[in-house]
Amino acid sequence: MNFLKDLKNSIYNPAFYHALLDRDFSYSLAYYAKLSAVIALVWATSVSLALVPIVYQLFGELNKSVAEVYPPLLELTLKNGELTKNMAGPVRLEMPEFAGSLSKVDKNDLPNPEIKTLLVIDTEATADLKSYQKAKALILVTKKAVVYTEDNDRSSIKISPFDQTMTGSLNQAKLVGYLETVRPWLKIFVPALVVIIFLVFMFIMYVLLLPLALLALLVWALLSLLKKNMGRVITYGTAYRLTLHASTLSFLVWAVLSVILGVPSGVLLFSALTLFLTYLNFRLVIKI
């Protein structure tokens, strides 16, 4: 409950801010750590609510998609860096149906939106640009390499040769078996993913201590103009401590805007809110 009280006071409480002038840096740093956890939790919850259903949908549709896309009689064999197959001619693996339903973005923003084929396996083709463009697929698999592109206009390619030491075979039954082996790990993977997302946002909050150090210079300049209201000269270290509190509303607004509107508050708004709260809490002379 002390944190909630500090959260409220950090938004507006002149007496609290004047008392902060005599607090240790560890007090403000501990407060920022708790604030960071709250902001990171908000962000992580927002991302997880969007991402976790997609993960479950992805794994739920994979078995169906394997039967839908991968030919039941097709068997691939890789030996000594060369791929062979038991079917004549090029084999086309079309894009699974669920791939389109999972995408929330405009198709024109996707790589090669006009391409409907996921992969073409052609052991007679050469690994070059002409063969790749002729395949009209996202990926071309030849006898000795995998060919793909990262350009929307398909004007250049990347070639990944097969490792000479790799051996093995793949068919529909094996592929389904691999997916069934992975499925039980979802119970561990999904919670771990949520924790990782939270830790990533916590790390971001701690990295933001660096730009807050720059913002503290502006806070320091503002407090220098208000030194009569505080009855003392403010050091940069004190200004930095106060910035960790004065940025509370800025972080809350940033979190809300990023979750609801999908856009951050912006540097100018963040800085302006922080400076405004600093001025608001020190504009009057307070006797402690």
The model's confidence at residue 178, banded by pLDDT at 50, 70 and 90, is confident
| Dist CA 26 CA 249 (whole Å) | 21
127 and 199, same domain (yes or no) = no
Q: What's the pLDDT score for residue 184?
A: 78
Domain boundary among 131, 166, 201: 166
**Domain residues for 121?**
81-166
Q: Is residue 174 part of a domain?
A: no
Q: pTM surpassing 0.85?
A: no
158 and 115, same domain (yes or no) = yes
154 and 117, same domain (yes or no) = yes
The model's confidence at residue 278, banded by pLDDT at 50, 70 and 90, is very high
| Dist CA 59 CA 65 (whole Å) | 10
Which tokens go with 179? Answer: 């997916």
**108/131: higher pLDDT:** 131
Residue 287 pLDDT exceeds 60: no
Q: What's the pLDDT score for residue 108?
A: 47
Q: What is the mean predicted confidence (pLDDT) over 128-149?
A: 89
Q: Which tens digit of pLDDT belongs to each residue from 249-271?
A: 999 998 888 877 766 657 888 99
DSSP state of 114: T
CA atoms within 13 A on the CB side of 29: 8
Q: What's the pLDDT score for residue 155?
A: 74
Q: What's the pLDDT score for residue 35?
A: 96
**88/240: higher pLDDT:** 240
Which tokens go with 41? Answer: 């939790």
Q: What is the mean predicted confidence (pLDDT) over 160-174?
A: 87
For the chain, how many structural domains are there in total? 2
Amino acid identity, residue 250? S
195 and 253, same domain (yes or no) = yes
Of 146-160, 165-179, 235-249, which has the strongest mean pLDDT? 235-249
213 and 162, same domain (yes or no) = no
Q: Is residue 60 part of a domain?
A: no
Q: Is residue 104 part of a domain?
A: yes
Domain boundary among 166, 197, 232: 166
Q: Is residue 288 part of a domain?
A: no
Q: Is residue 62 part of a domain?
A: no
Q: Is residue 64 part of a domain?
A: no
Q: Is residue 25 part of a domain?
A: yes
137 and 199, same domain (yes or no) = no
35 and 100, same domain (yes or no) = no
Residue 196 pLDDT exceeds 60: yes
Which tokens go with 287? Answer: 């006797």
| Dist CA 274 CA 68 (whole Å) | 55
Q: What is the mean predicted confidence (pLDDT) over 43-54?
A: 86
Buried b (16+ CB within 10 A) or exposed e, 172-189: beebeeeeeeeeeeeeee
Q: Please classify residue 147 by burial: count the beta carbons closer than 10 Å to its beta carbon, then call 0-12 exposed, 13-18 middle and 19+ buried.
A: buried
The model's confidence at residue 276, banded by pLDDT at 50, 70 and 90, is very high
Q: What's the pLDDT score for residue 80?
A: 87
Residue 246 pLDDT exceeds 70: yes
Mean predicted lDDT score pLDDT of the chain = 84
DSSP secondary structure letters along 148-165: E-S-TT----EEEEPPTT
Amino acid identity, residue 6? D
Q: What's the pLDDT score for residue 244?
A: 96
66, 126 contact by CB (below 8 A) = no
Could you give the angle at the alpha carbon of 104 between the alpha carbons of 102 and 108, nearest 5°? 110
45 and 101, same domain (yes or no) = no
200 and 273, same domain (yes or no) = yes
Q: Is residue 272 part of a domain?
A: yes
226 and 148, same domain (yes or no) = no
